[in-house]
Amino acid sequence: MKDMRPTLMLFIAFTLILGGAYPLIVTGIAELAFPSQASGSFVADAGGVSAGSRLIGQHFTGAKYFWPRPSATEDFPYNPMASGGSNAGPTNPDYLKTVAQRVRAYRESGVTHTLPSELVQASASGLDPDISPQGAAIQAERVARARGMKTADLGRLIAAHTQGRQLGFIGEPRVNVLELNLALDAMK
């Protein structure tokens, strides 16, 4: 078959162009133009020590930190090596028990409001760095009590860390939990 040679040669040529040249060119452009984003959007804490990526959530428990969304990653919550969701179906009895437990944890921390869904439902990536501004607001009283601060001060901190919709209408308003907690630690 005389088409054999051009067919196979094209495959080899495109493997080199698309698998080698193309990603390397994009890497070059990315590292020149957006070095911080290209390497993972890492942030430093108040002391200048690397404290993780602003895009990859971390797990926080205990009263003095804002709690992020539940995470269903394997081994432990917010395991960046095991991104993924619970894949629980909406009528799965085990899943409903888990949600009920999470609701109880918030009730025990003194929250009486109807809970924003994201606080008790696990994210798709298991690494979701954000919660809604409402989700942060209902935790403010607990954090204020634990740190001996004023709830109103925390309200202002949350507002300062709230990212609005992009271009005014895309997506949902959100608060980055890691950055909010780092700011809290920086305040003391």
Partner 1 sequence: MNNYGWMQTIVFFAVLLAAVKPFGAYLARVFRGERTFLSPLLVPCENLLYRVCGVDRDEEMPWRRYALSLILFNLAGGAVLFAIMLLQGALPYNPQKLASFPWQLALNSAVSFMTNTNWQAYSGETSASYFTQMFGFTVHNFLSAATGIVVAIATIRGFVRHRTDLIGNFHVDLTRCILYVLLPVSLLVAPLLVSQGVIQNLSPYKKVPLVQPLTYEKAKVDDGGNAVRDAHGNAVTERVTVREVTVPMGPVASQEVIKELGTNGGGFFNANSAHPYENPTPFTNLIEAFLMLLIGASLTYTFGEMAGNTRQGWAILAVMLAILVLAVGINYAAESAGNPLVAKLGVHQVNLEGKETRFGLAGTALFSSATTGTSCGAVNAMHDSMTPLGGMVPLSLILLSEVVVGGVGTGLYTMIAFVVIAVFVAGLMIGRTPEFLGKKIEVREMWMSIVTVMTSGVLVLFFTTLALWTPQAIASMANPGAHGLSEILYAFASMSNNNGSAFAGLAANTLFYNLTGSLAMLVGRFAPIVASLAMAGSLAGKKYVPPSLGTLPTDKVPFALWLSLVILVVGALTFFPALSLGPIVEHVTMLGGK
Which residues inside 99-118 make contact with partner 1, applying CB under 8 A?
A: 99-100, 103, 107, 114-118
Q: What amino acid is encoded at 53 in this protein? A: S
User: Shortest distance, CB of residue 137 to partner 1, whole angstroms?
Assistant: 14
10-49 residues near partner 1, rule: CB under 8 A: 10-11, 13-15, 17-20, 22-23, 25-27, 29-31, 33-34, 37-42, 45, 49
**Whole-number Å distance between alpha carbons of 183 and 68:** 15
Non-local CB neighbours of 130 within 8 Å, separated by 6+ positions: 57, 69, 163, 174, 175, 176, 177
Please choose, out of 6-14, 140-148, 154-162, the segment that lies near partner 1 by the rule CB under 8 A.
Answer: 6-14
- Whose CA is closest to 67, among 188, 180, 186? 180
- Work out which of 63, 79, 141, 183 binds partner 1, going by CB under 8 A: 79
- Does residue 56 touch partner 1 according to CB under 8 A? yes
CB of 148 to partner 1, least distance (A): 19
Q: For partner 1, give the closer residue by CB, 152 or 172.
A: 172
Show contacts with partner 1 in window 160-179 (CB under 8 A): 165-167, 169-172, 174, 178
Cβ 40 to partner 1 shortest distance, Å: 5
Q: How far is the CB of 179 from partner 1 (least distance, A)?
A: 11
Name 44's bridge partners: 50
Cβ burial, residue 79 (10 Å; 0-12/13-18/19+): middle
Amino acid in position 47: G
Position 1 contacts partner 1 (CB under 8 A): yes
Among candidate residues 135, 120, 131, the one with its CA nearest the CA of residue 72: 120
